[in-house]
Amino acid sequence: MSRGFVKEDDLEHAGTDVPERPVSQHANYVTLNGYHQLEKLASELEQKRQILSKKKDEQAAIQQLAMVNRDLRYVAARLESALITQPDVSSKSVVFGAKVTVEDEAGNAHVYEIVGEDEADIKVNKISYTSPLSRALIGHKLDDTVTWLRPAGNQLLTITAVHYTN
């Protein structure tokens, strides 16, 4: 586009109009640990916001500030809608907050903790309660065999242990 058709103000604000992070339509169940993680993230983002706000003349800082502000709005919304859920430690069934050990068809053991969407991190075996694996496990008991519906093909899993931590 020719420079004749671009307003100077448009160039100044390039990169500062970042799209909002989508908020899940599911209930925002969180573990107490997940809630504290959100609080910590909000605090870290606020600190970044304060630092970036002092660099009003730097275009890169302005762009980063837009992203930090967007992330702060997201985290604030998640904290406001959080439903802290403690598992019933006497439960015999798999529920939100459970740490579940399963054995796959090849005899390999896997341990997963069922947590809220924002706390989920497969690298540390924390899975969202909305995930297909969690949905397959929730409501079942020790020694039950469940079918995990996967795009790569369904897999049978046997629940070998269910633990709850406070």
- Which residues have CB under 8 Å from 63's CB, separation 6+? 15, 16
The helix (H) or strand (E) run that includes residue 9 is helix 8-12
Letter string b/e over residues 90-103, b meaning 16 or more CB atoms within 10 A of that residue's CB: eeeebbbbbbbbbb
pLDDT digits (tens, 9 = 90+) for 137-160: 999 999 999 999 999 999 999 999
Domain boundaries, the chain: 13-84, 98-164
Burial class of residue 40 in the structure, from the number of CB atoms within 10 Å of its CB (0-12 exposed, 13-18 middle, 19+ buried): exposed
The two beta strands, 126-128 and 29-30, are: unpaired
98-164: which CATH topology? Chitinase A; domain 3 (3.10.50)
What's the pTM? 0.82
Closest to 125 in 3D by CA, of 109, 136, 140, 144? 109
pLDDT at 91 over 90: no
Provide the terminal-to-terminal Cα distance of the chain, rounded to the nearest Å: 60
Q: Which residues contact 154 (CB under 8 A, 6 or more apart)?
A: 147, 148
pLDDT at 15: 54
**Which residues does residue 109 pair with via DSSP β-bridges, in sequence order?**
103
Residue 11 has pLDDT above 50, yes or no: no
